[in-house]
């Protein structure tokens, strides 16, 4: 079934290449289209030199909003290191973007936990050469502490694996259920434009995925399946002997992600701070993302010995780690009331539920061979008020 063609303006070599490949193969899965649009080695959105994050880019991330985010994450890392009480502490961050989260964490540890900083190794796993280059510039002051690795070149004997807004950037399959049958979205090239076609899901991995998950989109609804995410989590679990995994991203548990009211899925594109749902326009100039299924991450983690220690909204995580106490200190240090107000307005984005990053953003903390420590991030507002 051919679907309506969304409006599109494309004159890039990447679009030409995608048209050529879609024609030659008689159509490609949306996951293949997204993988090339974002990660084609020469032309992909994340691979070409451009500002992607922050004011001059396409979207903000929590670490681009303010250094406080990384400082609070660092506080949680300090407690994890205490729980592990080992001679060394390894942090591995995948998909670190321009390196700002790593910088804020390392700055905070150097200042507030120098003994831990001294025995720390920070490894970045980054697909994009352009971002690796940016990371090494941003992290120059910590050059002795940081190293880079590919996806299979790291392991953790004692430490924490960390990511912020990585999993939403994994290529996803798009599906719709009609007459009780799962159909997969294919991208075809037709008359010089990209068009969508639904085909009976030939890939049995999709049926197996939803059976494994125990949840699926209902009749008539469109949804995404991030088949790479559970596989990724299993590999992480296998690389950690003893330690934690902290995954920060926007998304929901499966029942909410595939809830009946979510009729069109969660696919979103970002270009110069404008959000839209058309991945076929300006191919290679837009970020393409889908909300993360945290049930899939927890379930696949469990299979490799990663127990869920904490899962909740980003605002709870940050409040538990002392967001308000830090805000008060930062305000008091602001040179004028005008600057204190500007700071409040900026930081509010990290915790506000509507139009901010507080509620849709979730944090999942898993542990392997660490027991069941009471994590600092799990402190409730009542407990914070009582000291």
Ligand X SMILES: C[S@@+](CC[C@H](N)C(=O)[O-])C[C@H]1O[C@@H](n2cnc3c(N)ncnc32)[C@H](O)[C@@H]1O
| 196 vs 249 by CB, closer to ligand X | 249
334: left (phi over 0), alpha (psi -120 to 50) or beta: beta
Examine residue 131 and tell whether it contacts ligand X (CB under 6 A). yes
Which CB, 96 or 322, lies closer to ligand X?
96
How many residues of this chain interact with ligand X, rule: CB under 6 A? 21
Closest to 297 in 3D by CA, of 378, 372, 226: 226
Residue 126 makes contact with ligand X by CB under 6 A: yes
Position 104 contacts ligand X (CB under 6 A)? no
Strand residues in 84-242 grouped as ranges (E): 89-94, 120-125, 146-149, 159-164, 173-178, 181-190, 193-200, 222-225
**With contact defined as beta carbons under 8 Å apart, do 65 and 346 qualify?**
yes
Is residue 95 a contact residue for ligand X (CB under 6 A)?
yes
Nearest to 255 by CA among 226, 213, 290: 213
User: What minimum distance in Å lies between the beta carbon of 156 and ligand X?
Assistant: 16
Q: How far apart are CA 282 and CA 280, in angstroms?
A: 7
Q: Which stretch binds ligand X (CB under 6 A): 11-19, 161-169, 181-189, 328-336?
A: 161-169
Q: Which stretch binds ligand X (CB under 6 A): 18-26, 162-170, 189-197, 333-341?
A: 162-170
**Which of 61, 90, 221, 295 is close enough to bind ligand X by CB under 6 A?**
61
Work out which of 128, 183, 189, 314 binds ligand X, going by CB under 6 A. 128
Smallest gap from Cβ 77 to ligand X, in A, equals 15
In order of 322, 350, 352, the CA distances from 337 in angstroms are: 22, 21, 22
Residue 127 binding ligand X, by CB under 6 A: yes
Question: By beta-carbon distance, which residue lies closest to ligand X?
Answer: 95
Choosing from 68, 105, 166, 283, the residue that interacts with ligand X (CB under 6 A) is 166
Q: Is 161 in the site for ligand X (CB under 6 A)?
A: no
| CA distances, 298 to each of 28, 212, 247, 376, 381 (Å) | 30, 12, 10, 20, 25
Based on CB atoms, which residue is closest to ligand X, 63 or 90? 63
| Among residues 63, 76, 90, 266, the one that binds ligand X under rule CB under 6 A | 63
Q: Which stretch binds ligand X (CB under 6 A): 28-36, 72-80, 124-132, 269-277?
A: 124-132
Which is nearer to ligand X, 37 or 53 (by Cβ)?
Answer: 53
| Contacts with 109 (C-beta within 8 Å, 6 or more apart), sequence order | 74, 77, 78, 116, 117, 120
**DSSP symbol at 189:** E
Distances (CA, A) of 223 to 3, 24, 183, 287, 331: 16, 27, 11, 18, 43
Q: Could you say whether residue 361 binds ligand X (CB under 6 A)?
A: no
The residue ranges that bind ligand X (CB under 6 A) are 46, 53, 61, 63-64, 94-97, 100-101, 125-128, 131, 151, 164-166, 169
């Amino acid at each position: 079934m051919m679907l309506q063609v969304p409006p599109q303006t494309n004159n890039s070599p990447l679009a030409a290449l995608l048209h050529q490949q879609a024609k030659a193969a008689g159509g490609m899965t949306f996951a293949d289209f997204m993988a090339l649009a974002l990660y084609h080695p020469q032309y992909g959105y994340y691979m070409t030199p451009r500002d992607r994050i922050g004011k001059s880019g396409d979207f903000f991330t929590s670490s681009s909003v303010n250094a406080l985010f990384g400082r609070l994450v660092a506080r949680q890392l300090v407690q994890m290191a205490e729980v592990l009480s080992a001679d060394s502490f390894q942090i591995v961050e995948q998909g670190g973007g321009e390196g700002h989260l790593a910088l804020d964490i390392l700055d905070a540890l150097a200042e507030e936990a120098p003994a831990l900083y001294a025995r720390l190794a920070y490894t970045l796993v980054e697909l994009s050469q352009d971002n690796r280059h940016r990371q090494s510039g941003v992290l120059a002051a910590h050059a002795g502490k940081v190293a880079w690795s590919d996806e299979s070149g790291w392991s953790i004997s004692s430490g924490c694996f960390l990511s912020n807004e990585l999993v939403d950037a994994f290529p996803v399959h798009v599906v719709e259920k009609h007459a009780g049958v799962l159909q997969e979205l294919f991208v075809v090239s037709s008359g010089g434009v990209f068009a969508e076609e639904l085909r009976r899901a030939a890939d049995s991995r999709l049926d197996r995925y939803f059976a494994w998950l125990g949840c699926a989109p209902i009749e008539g609804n469109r949804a995404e399946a991030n088949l790479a995410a559970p596989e990724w989590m299993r590999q992480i679990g296998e690389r950690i002997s003893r330690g934690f995994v902290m995954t920060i991203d926007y998304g929901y548990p499966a029942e909410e992600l595939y809830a009946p009211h979510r009729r069109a899925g969660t696919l979103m594109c970002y270009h110069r701070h404008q959000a839209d749902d058309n991945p076929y326009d300006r191919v290679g100039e837009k970020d393409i993302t889908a909300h993360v299924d945290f049930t899939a991450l927890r379930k696949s983690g469990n299979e490799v010995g990663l127990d869920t220690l904490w899962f909740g909204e980003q605002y709870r995580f940050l409040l538990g780690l002392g967001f308000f106490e830090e805000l008060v200190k930062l305000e008091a240090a602001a040179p004028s009331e005008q600057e204190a107000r500007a700071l409040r307005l900026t930081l509010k984005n990290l915790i506000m539920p509507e139009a901010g990053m507080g509620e849709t953003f979730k944090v999942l903390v898993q542990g392997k061979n660490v027991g069941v420590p009471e994590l600092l991030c799990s402190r409730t507002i009542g407990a914070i008020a009582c000291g």
